[in-house]
Structure 1
Amino acid sequence: MKQLHIFFHELHSFLILWITQALSTLGSSMTSFALIIWSYQQQGSALNTALLSVCSYVPYIMMSIFAGALSDRWDKKAIMLASDSFAAMCTIITLFLLQTGRLEIWHLYCLNALSGLMNTIQQPAADVTVSLLIPKKHYQKASGMRSFSNSLINILTPVIAAALLSLFQIQAVIIFDLVTFGIAFISLLFFVRIPQAIPRQEKREPVFRSAKTGLRYLKQNRGILDLILFLAAINFTASVYNAAFPAMLLSKENGGETVLGIVNSATGIALLLGSIAASVLPAPKSRVRVICNTLLFSMSTENFLLAFGNSVPVWCIGAILGWTCIPVMNANMDVLLRGHVPLPMQGRVFSTRNTLQFFTIPIGYFTGGILVDKVFEPLMASQPQNSLPSILFGTGKGSGAAFLFCLLAVVGIVTCLLFRKDPHIWKLEQ
C-alpha cells in the first residue's frame, strides 16, 4: 500500500494529464472514425478516404524537423493548450459545415492538413512533457499506461461512435469530441504543472541550427537512426494496410460498418492486453530482440489471416494476433530512446525522429489507395470465379484488398529479417 501511495505521489501530474488527454483523444478518434465512414459512403473510393490521413501527415512530417526546436524553446503547456484549441476550432468548423449541408471531402482535406500542422508542434512537446513529469524508473510503466489508454480508445471508439451514429447522427459524435476537449483543456490549464526542461539561455538557439543539431545527433548515433529507419519501413507497410483495411471490410459481401467496428474493437482488445503486459513485465534482457521479434510476429500473422480469411471471427483473430505485441514493442522502443537521448535534446531528436519515422506513412496511404482502386480490385474483377486468386481471396469488391494483404505480409517479414541483421541497432544493448 505504501509503495502504491509513493507511485501515485510521484506520478500525480502525469496521471491527470494522461487520463484527461486520453479522454480527449477518444473524442477525436470517434470523430475521425465517423468521418472515414462518411467519406467512404460519399465517395466509395479507398484513395479518397486514404487522402484524409495523407493530408494530416504531410504537414506533420514536413515541419516536424523544425518543430522540436520550437518545442525546446517554448513553454510546453502553452504549446499543448494552443494546439488543442486549434484542433477544436477545426472540429467546430466541421460541425458547422455539416449542420449547413455544405461539408465536402475537400473541406476535410484542408482541415486535416491544418490539424496535422498544429500536431507537428504539439507532439514533441507532449513527448518531452512525459519525460519531465515522471522519474526515469517509471518510464516503462508510463509507456505501458499510455499504450493501455490507446488500446482502450481503440476498443471504445467504434462502439461509442457506432452507437451515437445509429441513435443520433454524426453531429452527436462531434459534440462529444468537443466536450472531451473542454475537460482536457481545463485540467491541463489548472491542475498540471510542467517543469522547465532546459535552462532559459539554451532556448535562444536559432530554429534552423536546433533542427540541424537533432539531425547531427542521429547521424552520430547510428543505432538510434537505424532503429528509426526500421520503424519507417514498417510504417510504410502498416499505412498501406490502413488504407486497404476499411475498403475491404466495408466492401466485402459479409462486411459493412458493423463488421468494421467489430474488428476494430478486436484490435483494441489486443492492444489492451499488450499494454497490460508492457506495464507489468520486467525489463527484458534484450530490448532490441523484443522489438524485432514482436514486429516479425505481427507482420507474419494478421495480414495473412485478413488475406485468406472470409469471416468476422477469422478477421478478429488476425487483429488480435497482429496487434497484441505492438504495445510491448512500443514500450521497449520508448525506453531505448528516452534512455539514450539526453533530456535537453529530446525535443529536437524526437521531432527529427517524427520526420524520418513517419514520412513513409502518407506515402503508404497514397500507395495503398491507388493499389486498391487502380490495381488489385480491377485485377480481381477480371479473374474467373474458378481461378486460383478467386479461390484464395474471394470474388467481388474487397477481394483486391485481400490480395494486397497477402503481399504486405511478405514485405513485412522481409523488412523485419533485413533490419534484424543491422549491427548498429544491436549496439544499443551496450
Structure 2
Amino acid sequence: MNSLKTTVKELHSFLILWLTQSFSSLGSSMTNFALVIWSYQQQGSALQTAMLSICSYAPYIVMSIFAGVLSDRWSKKATMLVCDSFAAACTVSVLLLLQTGHLEVWHLYCLNALNGLMNTFQQPAADVTTSILTPKKHFQKVGGLRSFSSSLQTVLTPVLATALLAFTGIQTVIVFDLLTFGAAFVSLLFFVKIPEKAGGGSQREPVLRSAKSGLQYLKHNRGILDLILFLAAINLTASVYNAALPAMVLSRQGGGETALGIVNTVTGIAMLIGSILVSVLPAPKSRVRTICNALLFSMSTENFFLALGKGLPLWCAGAVLGWIAIPIMSANMDVVLRSTIPIEMQGRVYSARNTLQFFTIPIGYLLGGLLVDNVMEPFMATQIGGPLTALFGSGKGAGAAFLFFILGLMGIVTCLVFRKDSHIWQLEKENDLQ
C-alpha cells in the first residue's frame, strides 16, 4: 500500500491528465464510430467511408514535421487546450448540420481534415507532456496505463455508441462527446501543472532547420529509424484491414451493425487484458524481441480468422488473438523511445516519427477502399462455385474476406524481414532499457 501511495503521488498530475483526456477520447471515438456507420449507410462504399480516415491523417502527416518544432517552443498546456477546443468546435458543427438536415459526407471530410490538422500539434505536445510528468522508472507503467485506457475505449465505444444510436440517435452521441470534452478541458486548465522544459536551442533556430534536426536525429540513430519504419509497414497492413472490416462485417450473413460492434468490443477486451498484463509484468529481458514477437503473433492470426471464418464467433476469436499482444508491443516501444530520445528533442523527433510511421495509414485506407470496391468484390463475384468461394464465401463481403487472407501473408513477411534488421537489435546493446 505504501508503494502504491508513493506511485500515485509521483504520478498525480499525469493521472489527472490521463483520466480526463481518456474520457474525452471515449466521447470522440463514439462520435467517429457513429459517423462511420452513418456514412456507410448513406453511401454503401468502403472507399467513401475510408475517406473519413484519409482526410484525418493526410494533414497530420504532411504537417507533423513542422508541428513538433512549434510544440517544442509553445506552452504544452496552451497547445493542448487550443487544439482540443478547435476539435470541439468541429463536433458542434456536425451537430448543427445534423439538426438542420444538411449534413453530407463531404462535410465530414472537411471537418476531419481540420481535426487532423489540430491533432498534428496536439499529439507531440501530449507525448512530451507525458515524459515531463513521468519519472523514468514509471515509463512502463505509464505505457501500460495509456494502452489500458485505449483498450477500454475500444471496448466501450461500440457498446455505448450502438446503445445510444438504437435508443436515441446520433445527436445524443455527439452531445456526450461534447460533455466529455468539457470535463477534460476544465481539468487540464485548472488542475494539471505542466513544467515547461528548455527547448534545446530550438527557440532561436528557424523552423525548417529545427524540423530538419528531428530527421537528422533519426538518420544518426538507425535503430530508432528502422523500428519506426517497421511500424510504418505494419500500419499499411493495419489500415487496409481497418478499411475492409466494416465493409465485410456489415455486408456478410450474420453481420450487421451489432456484429461490427461486438467485434470491436472483443478487440477492446483483448487489448484491455494485454494492457493489464504489461502494467503488472516486470520489464522483459529484451524489449526489441518482445516488440517483434508481439507483432508477428498479431499479424499471423486475426487476418486469417476473418478471411476463413464464416461467422461472428470466429471473427471474435481472431480479434482476441490479433489484438491481445498489441498493448505489450506498444508499451515496450514507448519505453524504447522515451529512454533513448533526449527530452529536449522529443517534440521534434516524435513529429518526424509521426510523419514516417503514419504516412502509410491514409495510403492503406485508400488502397483498402479501392481494393474492396473495385478489385476484390468484383473478382469474387466471378468465382461463384469455384475453390475461392469455398474458402471465402460468396456475395458482398467475400472480396473483403479474400483481402484479409492476403493481408495475413503480407503481415508475416513484413515481420520476418524487419526481425533480421541488425540496426534494430543494436538498440539492445546501446541502451539500458530495463
Which residue of the partner structure matches residue 412 of structure 1?
411
Per-residue deviation, 1:202: 4.3
Q: Render the CA deviation track for 1:92-137: whole Å, top value 9, x for unaligned.
A: 0000000000000000000000000000000000000000001000
Which residue of the partner structure matches residue 363 of structure 1?
363
Q: What percentage of aligned pairs have identical amino acids?
A: 70
Which residue of the partner structure matches residue 142 of structure 1?
142
Distance 2:103 2:253 in 1: 29
Determine whether 1:155 maps to 2:152.
Answer: no
Which residue of the partner structure matches residue 278 of structure 1?
278
1:334 is matched by which residue type in structure 2?
D
Aligned partners of 2:54 and 2:365 also within 8 Å:
yes
Aligned partners of 2:200 and 2:344 also within 8 Å:
no
Aligned partners of 1:240 and 1:364 also within 8 Å:
yes
Aligned partners of 1:60 and 1:117 also within 8 Å:
yes
Q: Render the CA deviation track for 1:163-206: whole Å, top value 9, x for unaligned.
A: 10011110000000000000000000000000112158642322
Partner SS for 1:204: coil
Which residue of the partner structure matches residue 319 of structure 2?
319
Which residue of the partner structure matches residue 352 of structure 1?
352
Distance 2:203 2:73 in 1: 4
Aligned partners of 2:73 and 2:199 also within 8 Å:
no
- What is the correspondence of 1:27-426 to structure 2 with a 5 Å cutoff? 27-198=27-198, 202-384=202-384, 386-426=385-425
Distance 1:201 1:375 in 2: 51
Aligned partners of 2:87 and 2:115 also within 8 Å:
yes
1:425 is matched by which residue type in structure 2?
I
Distance 2:141 2:271 in 1: 15
Which residue of the partner structure matches residue 7 of structure 2?
7
Distance 1:197 1:246 in 2: 43
Give the number of aligned pairs: 429
Distance 1:197 1:399 in 2: 53
Distance 2:334 2:209 in 1: 26
Distance 2:314 2:422 in 1: 38
Aligned partners of 1:73 and 1:204 also within 8 Å:
no
Structure 1: 4+ residue segments shifted above 4 A: 199-202
Distance 1:399 1:286 in 2: 40
Which residue of the partner structure matches residue 432 of structure 2?
none
Partner SS for 2:203: helix
- Unmatched 5+ residue regions in structure 1? none
Aligned partners of 1:304 and 1:405 also within 8 Å:
yes
2:31 is matched by which residue type in structure 1?
T
1:259 is matched by which residue type in structure 2?
A
Q: Render the CA deviation track for 1:39-65: whole Å, top value 9, x for unaligned.
A: 000000000000000000000000000
Distance 2:178 2:148 in 1: 23
Q: Render the CA deviation track for 1:50-99: whole Å, top value 9, x for unaligned.
A: 00000000000000000100000000000000000000000000000000
Q: Render the CA deviation track for 1:325-369: whole Å, top value 9, x for unaligned.
A: 000000110000111100000000000000000000000000000
Aligned partners of 1:36 and 1:49 also within 8 Å:
yes
Superposition TM-score, scaled by structure 2 size: 0.98
Aligned partners of 2:55 and 2:110 also within 8 Å:
yes
Q: Render the CA deviation track for 1:256-291: whole Å, top value 9, x for unaligned.
A: 000000000000000000000110111111111011
Change (3 A) 1:79 1:254: same
How much is the aligned-residue C-alpha RMSD, in angstroms? 0.8
Q: Render the CA deviation track for 1:3-50: whole Å, top value 9, x for unaligned.
A: 111111100000000000000000000000000000000000000000
1:205 is matched by which residue type in structure 2?
E
Aligned partners of 1:214 and 1:349 also within 8 Å:
yes
Per-residue deviation, 1:253: 1.6
Partner SS for 2:8: helix
- Unmatched 5+ residue regions in structure 2? 430-434
Aligned partners of 1:33 and 1:158 also within 8 Å:
yes
Partner SS for 1:351: helix
